[in-house]
A and B are shown apart, each in its own frame.
Chain A
């Protein structure tokens, strides 16, 4: 199993450009998450999905959109990138149920200039 993978690993955008981050998991997990991590901060939840075709807002959803067309993939989109979106983005997945932990991807470092 590859676990949770993220594409790309690094990206530099200019203000106003758009891009999509891809998260893929091969563990047949129902739940998937997108977080951002900023210096001196813990992870903050952007959006999450509890199943194919469903998404929900997290703590900091503004400026981002997501889609979960396939169970194994969770896409995070930035329509018009801003310098405030410079961050490291982590995807995670989890079995449905209370007793399980989230499995994290390796992260994507995004810089918006």
Chain B
């Protein structure tokens, strides 16, 4: 079964500090995509960053970067210079294709608190 595991239900960080959220996934596919989504209290799911599995270079979007370890099936998110607005639920997701059908599997999420 394809699964996504976020082992940290909750994390906290001081404003301006750096925090890393972990994600591991289980797959036998070779072609897939990984995503981190942010869900603030407003509930809207917002894409933070994405990574194509065939790319070795880690994706970066401003203060957000990933550490993609394909062999270890690990996809962690690093938030640098944390801001109060970063407080949210963060979901790791994994997209793959089986028999021509797309599948998107989400982890259970990590609640990030940013302390002033």
Contacts and interface: CB of A to CB of B under 8 A. Distances in A.
B56 interface: no
Interface string A18-58: 00000000000001010000001111110010100000100
A30 to B, nearest CB: 11
Given A41-B108, A42-B91, A56-B101, A106 B4 contact: no
Contacts of B4: 42
A43 B91 contact: yes
Contact of B106 (A40, A42, A56, A106): A42
A15 interface: no
A44 B31 CA distance: 21
B64 interface: no
A106 B44 contact: yes
Contacts of A43: 45, 91, 93, 106
A88 B41 CA distance: 13
Interface residues of A, number: 22
Contacts of A45: 103-104
A42 B107 contact: yes
A40 B108 contact: yes
Given A42-B91, A99-B52, A104 B44 contact: yes
Say what secondary structure dominates the interface of chain B. strand
A42 B52 CA distance: 21
Given A99-B52, A106-B44, A48 B102 contact: yes
B41 to A, nearest CB: 12
Interface of A: 31, 33, 40-45, 48, 50, 56, 88, 90, 92, 98-99, 101-102, 104-107
Closest 8 CB pairs of A and B: A42-B106, A104-B45, A107-B43, A101-B47, A43-B106, A42-B108, A42-B107, A106-B44
Interface of B: 4, 31, 33, 35, 37, 42-47, 50, 52, 91, 93, 95, 101-109
18 contacts: A31-B102, A33-B104, A42-B4, A42-B106, A42-B107, A42-B108, A43-B45, A43-B91, A43-B93, A44-B106, A45-B103, A48-B102, A98-B33, A98-B95, A99-B33, A102-B47, A105-B44, A106-B43
